[in-house]
Amino acid sequence: MAIISTSIVGSSIISGVNSVINLEYNIIKFNGESIVDKVLVVDYAMTTAELDAMTAADVHTWDEHTLLYAEFSNNLEAGSITVASTIDSWDIIRFKTGSTIPEVIETGLPSTTTSLVDYTAVKPNTYYYLVYPITSTAVISYLQSNTVTMCYDYYAFLDETTGDSFIFQGNLEDQTVTLNSAVATYEGFTQYPAKSQGLLKYDSGAFVALLGMVNSGVYEDDTVDTYAELRDFIANGHEKIMKDRKGNIRRVFTEDLTRSIDEKPSEMPTMIAFQWTEVGEV
């Protein structure tokens, strides 16, 4: 467990069998990775004899000089540090670096949840996340993640319903994106027609790429099973999250999968193509 910038004033600090004695020392810092089995804080300077007599196996008995005794046993409880309440759920809040505007990623996640995929992160932004434990009887401080910079050199299609995803980065064809809008033309007895545009406005396009992946010059993952999985993925009727190499992110519907196999090379690479249509906001 890492403890950073914890203020301890006028006390002795014991970590395992290593100690620091300094009445003016008021910061505990563990730099880098640390494994700490116990931390003892008392309100006086312990003598050399007392320190020499201590071992990592000692179990401290609380007395009037004890400010903190934390023994870590692979759980959230440690000596005087106890879990205030049962965690009912988690709320996840995201901040873009340099912004003070919070973005709600998820609320009410079950307390048993141990991971979450953020489908809405966009290249090349840098984010950090706050994880709030929600309880019915206590207020618990949030946990903050390290900063994460979005960087990817591929196209990704993700199904939020099933958790399945496909990544494409080989032999990508030029991507032509069409902005679709509802425009009506009115022609009357004037020289020029009148145009009127409704609220309808969405992107669509055709995606073409190599089915398999090229790793260290070796073409792989282009199998009968891979194509069968892709076929089911494209035609399962679910909306997908689509991310492109430019950094755009869209909610799309996929359809009309086709494939062509080059019979000349021994690997028989497969090119796939399908249509996508933007159907909502991410």
Tens of pLDDT, residue by residue over 146-204, are: 888 876 678 889 998 998 889 888 888 888 899 999 899 999 889 999 999 989 999 99
Rounded to whole angstroms, the Cα distance separating 219 from 25 reads 60
* HEC assignment per residue over 182-211: EEEEECCCCCCCEEEEEEEEEEEEEEEEEC
Q: What angle do CA 98, 240, 271 make, to 5 degrees?
A: 110
Distance CA 41, CA 66 (A): 6
Question: Taking CA 148 as the corner, what is the angle to CA 100 and CA 83, rounded to the nearest 5 degrees?
Answer: 80
DSSP string, 11-25: -EEEETTEEEE-TT-
CB 26 within 8 A of CB 7: yes
Angle at Cα 150 formed by Cα 130 and Cα 158, nearest 5°? 90
Residue 173: what pLDDT?
Answer: 84
Q: How far apart are alpha carbons 169 and 154 in whole angstroms?
A: 5
Give the Cα separation of 85 and 176 in Å (integer).
54
Report, as ranges of residue numbers, the positions in the chain whose pLDDT lies below 50: 1-25
User: What whole-number distance in Å separates Cα of residue 29 and Cα of residue 155?
Assistant: 42
What's the pLDDT score for residue 30?
A: 63
pTM over 0.95: no
Q: Residue 260: how many CB atoms within 10 A of its CB? A: 11
Residue 117: count of CB within 10 angstroms of its CB: 12
Read off the pLDDT of residues 87-101 as tens digits, 9 standing for 90 and up: 888 999 999 988 989
User: Which pLDDT belongs to residue 3?
Assistant: 36
d(CA 131, CA 263): 52
Q: Give yes or no for a contact between 201 and 179, defined as CB atoms under 8 angstroms apart.
A: yes
Q: Is the dihedral of CA 110, 113, 119, 121 positive or negative?
A: positive
| Spatial contact of 174 and 158, defined as CB atoms under 8 Å apart | no
Q: Give the Å distances, CA to CA, from 194 to 179, 181, 185, 186.
A: 21, 16, 6, 5
Which sign, positive or negative, has the C-alpha torsion 178, 184, 188, 193?
A: negative
CA dist 279 and 203 (Å) reads: 9
Q: Is 163 helix (H, G, I), strand (E, B) or coil?
A: coil
